Amino acid sequence: MLNPALPQKQREMMNHHMDSTIWNDFNFRDDDIIIATYAKSGTTWMQQIISQMLFSGETGLAVAEMSPWMDLRIPPKQVKLPEVEAQSHRRFVKTHLPVDALVFSPQAKYIYIGRDGRDVMWSMYNHHSKANDLWYDALNNTPGRVGPPIDPPPADPVEYFNTWLARDGYPFWPFWENIRSWWEIRDLPNVRLVHFADLKADMPGEMRKLADFLEIEVDPAHWPAIEEHCSFDYMKANATPSVPLGGAFWDGGAQTFVHKGTNGRWRDQLSAAESAAYEARAEKELGADCAAWLAHGSA
């Protein structure tokens, strides 16, 4: 019987990237970890952090293979589900779905990472503008796509941002509902919200909080290596194992996918009016408390 106190799946989300139906057949285990974001909010960073804590600072971990994006429709669920079912380590997979398009399990622990939408879009612009023909072919021409194809972005990142804001997530998926849905369940005992800015400000402290939440016992002697391997410089220099297909979908390879890891790149490009319009929209869509958290984290 379904637990009415837990979020229930209400719909499917399917587009050029996603097939949410995979979660209908996902067999949860008691210690599963689900990493959730809208996108470009620190997902790969969190996958690296969790892999390092689980595997005691090992080098050369194939994190992208170990921690697949479940609702990405490539490869199809008929391929992905058996691969994840065969994993013998503690599983840590990722999703970019809002809560109401996800099967939510009391067995799993969920980490949701937030980031200011302006930072999200500057990172997304780099991701999208550096995508190559393999990326477009896979997303647009693999059978099963629902809805229109995704096209190359405009040359101007400000135009890209303003279109994304006006059309709520275009050309990817809706932004505000994603943030709202996770904020609304933040007090559940198996959910933890983390903010990109808090990770930037105090990664060691945030990692220890995550270890406690996930009940991962880390040998104190391993923390120095773990912290080094989760630094941006290390991840940039060793990006290939952490990026899907080793970065083959982006010009410049895996180092393009792991781009700058910085906030505020929009400040010199958005006008004061454009930035204010984003902030007003955030408060309208999310409410003051959630909008403040999304902008700044706990600081």
At residue 123, the pLDDT reads 92
Other C-beta atoms closer than 10 Å to the C-beta of 130 total 18
At residue 187, the pLDDT reads 97
Q: Is pLDDT above 50 for 178?
A: yes
Angle between helices 117-129 and 157-166 (to 10 degrees): 120
> Do 181 and 36 touch, CB atoms closer than 8 A?
no
Give the CA angle between residues 22, 28, 30 to the nearest 5°. 160
Tell me if residue 131 falls in helix, strand or coil.
strand
CA atoms in the 13 A half-sphere facing the CB of 67: 28
Q: Report the share of the chain in percent with pLDDT over 90.
A: 85
At residue 260, the pLDDT reads 57
At residue 93, the pLDDT reads 98
Q: Is pLDDT above 60 for 24?
A: yes
Domains along the sequence of the chain with CATH: 20-115+132-150+179-259 (3.40.50.300)
Least confident interval from 78-92, 138-152, 226-240: 226-240
| Phi, psi torsion values for 195, nearest 5 degrees | -115, 140
> Do 37 and 99 touch, CB atoms closer than 8 A?
no
Burial of 254 by CB count in 10 Å (0-12 exposed, 13-18 middle, 19+ buried)?
buried
Mean pLDDT across the stretch 102-113?
98
At residue 163, the pLDDT reads 97
Q: Is pLDDT above 90 for 197?
A: yes
In whole numbers, what is the pLDDT of the chain averaged over residues?
93
At residue 1, the pLDDT reads 42
Which tokens is 11 given?
Answer: 């719909």
pLDDT digits (tens, 9 = 90+) for 213-269: 999 999 999 999 999 999 988 988 887 766 665 567 777 655 555 545 677 889 999
Mean pLDDT across the stretch 155-181?
97
Q: Is pLDDT above 80 for 18?
A: yes
At residue 236, the pLDDT reads 81
What is the reported pTM?
Answer: 0.93
At residue 136, the pLDDT reads 95
